[in-house]
Amino acid sequence: MNLSAAFGAAALSFAALSAFSAAAQDLPDLAGREVVVVTENAYPPLQFVDASGAAVGWEYDAMAEIAKRLNFTVKYENSSWDAMIPAVAEGQYDLGMTGITITDERKGQVDFSDSYMTSESVMLVRGDETRFTDAASFNADADLLIGAQPGTTPFYTAVYSVLDGNEANPRIKLFETFGASVEALKAGDVDLVLTDSTGGAGYVAASGGALKIVGAPLGTEEFGFILPKGSDLAGPINAAIAALKADGTFEALNKKWFLDYAMGG
């Protein structure tokens, strides 16, 4: 699945629902056990806090459906990004979700579920930006700055796909959260933030024209949920992900959170 599919038809057909009914019988039953899920709530439209103060987003809807089909209850906790992977690795939480890119390095600390979404890295800029239009023209202007969270995929993409491969390059300004880097972009403190196309679409939609995406995608990334090494939840979660892909549920969530959300619906 990729995001181009997210903008296609998302209604569930009768045939798909029938297929789900047959497949659902094969999903594990976790007998109501509690699963502690940690997230950052700073990555719209995957997960964020809306104007009413409610935690919402694509991942919340997906997790609710996974919990329903596997028969477990969810207890949500919040954590900063930099603490999340170590905390899951140590078993403080059963599962982490915050648009986490599957990488070999992270696999050394935690187990990943199967991918539930494919996205692309894109360049998020202010709506009135005209000084650069792609990675090469950004790199060519030494006065331009990029904001990133250390240790994230956007940070490494900035270092190796936009700049010169120097992880200490002073043109990279570090922020504790992705949201803080976006606020710095809006304020003019930095000139570029890299994000995946899912989060980027959400921020652009919510910005009222203050933000836009420029240039070609800088690569693709697969998102997965993270679990402690050897977690017995991995098999059931993967089975549920496969079912949600097969019956069109993920496609419906894509329409809700990437098409309708981007249109202000």
pLDDT of 248 above 80: yes
pLDDT digits (tens, 9 = 90+) for 67-119: 999 999 999 999 999 999 999 999 999 999 999 999 999 999 999 999 999 88
**CB contact burial 201-213 (16+ within 10 A = b; e otherwise):** bbbbbbbeeebbe
Each residue of 9-29: pLDDT tens digit?
333 433 444 344 434 558 999
Instruction: Report the C-alpha gap between 249 and 265 in whole angstroms.
Output: 19
DSSP output for 121-173:
EEEEEETT--S-SSHHHHHH-TT--EEE-TTSHHHHHIIIIIS-S-TT-TTEE
Sheet containing 55-56, strands listed edge to edge, beginning at the edge strand earlier in sequence:
42-43, 47-49, 55-56
Instruction: Give CA–CA dist 7/259, Å, rounded.
Output: 6
pLDDT of 224 > 60? The answer is yes
Query: 1.10.1760.20, 3.40.640.10, 3.40.190.10, 3.30.428.10: which CATH number matches 119-220?
Result: 3.40.190.10
Query: Residue 191: what pLDDT?
Result: 98
Does the domain at 3-116+224-260 match CATH 3.40.50.300? Answer given as no
Enumerate the domain spans of the chain: 3-116+224-260, 119-220
